[in-house]
Structure 1
Amino acid sequence: MLKFLIRYLIVSLIFLSLNIDYTALANNPDSLVLSAIKDSLTFQPSKIAIEPIYALPDLDYTKAMNMGAIRSGVNRFVIFYNQDGVQRFIEADYLVRIWLNVYVAKVPLKAGSVINVNDNVVMDERELSTLPKDFAIENNINGSIINANLTAGQVIRLSLISKRIDVRLGQRVMVIGKVGNATFSLPAVALNSGSIGDDIKVRCITNNKVFTGKIISSSEVQTGG
């Protein structure tokens, strides 16, 4: 009986300790500000660091909202708290630093080089405030042409690359698709240029019907369900 009582007391103390930690975390203004930042970003950062500009009073905080678009540097937040059964708020400034994984040159590259991700171009973590506005982050730059000489470690900028063209305007292609359980393959002419993954329009040679489809190779466009 004594052993059971001791075990019960130990479990209760552990639960109480965990509950106190959880409550402290939930009411911590830094954690609330961090959540507000993550919710407002339209991209996935690799790392975020925040630091309050001045110390905040010990209050029953409930929620934080950012004032304007999040940027690297000082950002202002409205932080709500409960006091005497009434919800109130204070404004607080936080220094925000954001890191992203972006494409950089793995080795020196000459103008005219073709991007081969993981070979001559890799992803590296950089702080957002140090990046040019047109940095490349999307995963469809493989095969693009570099228009300027780049040094090793230099960030790949969209203004410095030309998108690879797999299908050109006026090119003969095959339109493949499916209607119900039946598949079809028709000769067509491309009405737009694009690269693999792009949607373009094509005109069927046999009946002049115009299709919109996705480029799946340098000679095929897929359409239909």
Structure 2
Amino acid sequence: MTNTPSTRAVREGLAHKREAILAAARELFVRHGVRGTSMDAVAAEAAVSKRTVYDYYGDKRGLLLGVVEEAGESLLASLRSAIAEHLSDAAPIDDTADLEQALTDFALRRAASMTDSSEYAATVKLISENEELLPELENHPLDDAHADALAERMAHFAKRGLLDAENPRLAADHFNALTMLLAYNERQNLRADPTRVHTIMVDGVHAFMRAYGVRG
């Protein structure tokens, strides 16, 4: 993806200013919509000058992309942290039962991050309402980074003889479909119910292991 003023910050700037601008933009975009939010309002909410907002993000579309990309980077960091905690080479995973438990713990941690994150919900809403403004999101490097992080672990466990996954990327996609995506596609009141989310994660991992787990 080519870095232009409309697709990435015009200048790096100070981290705290960038964070303040993105936080203000996310809140106002969700509250009033992208078209109903002015750059003046974002600047006032972030306590910076309008020129600073333009210098950092170029225009309102660039600012929207910045909000979405920041959320994607935050979720990627959370994903990698969950992998390191539950699915690393050092994790005590010796058989398919161990792997199912590790994947369940991993899925529950990710689900907690999702349901507890107002940023995640806001970002999903912004993308769904403004997809036509964000052609850069198609085949975005962050999508590959998210998919590749889990696919690498699927390949690792397949190599160890615990998964039958000739296509680790597809296995990762199926895992996400049975867990995170299924939970997020629930009605909002059910998605906010920890018991319901827990059930989806446990049942989803079990279904995944029935499809991909190697039977002795």
TM range (shorter): under 0.3
Normalising by the residue count of structure 1, what TM-score does the alignment of the two structures yield?
0.22
Normalising by the residue count of structure 2, what TM-score does the alignment of the two structures yield?
0.23
| Structure of higher CA gyration radius | 1
Higher relative contact order (CA 8 A, sep 6+): 2
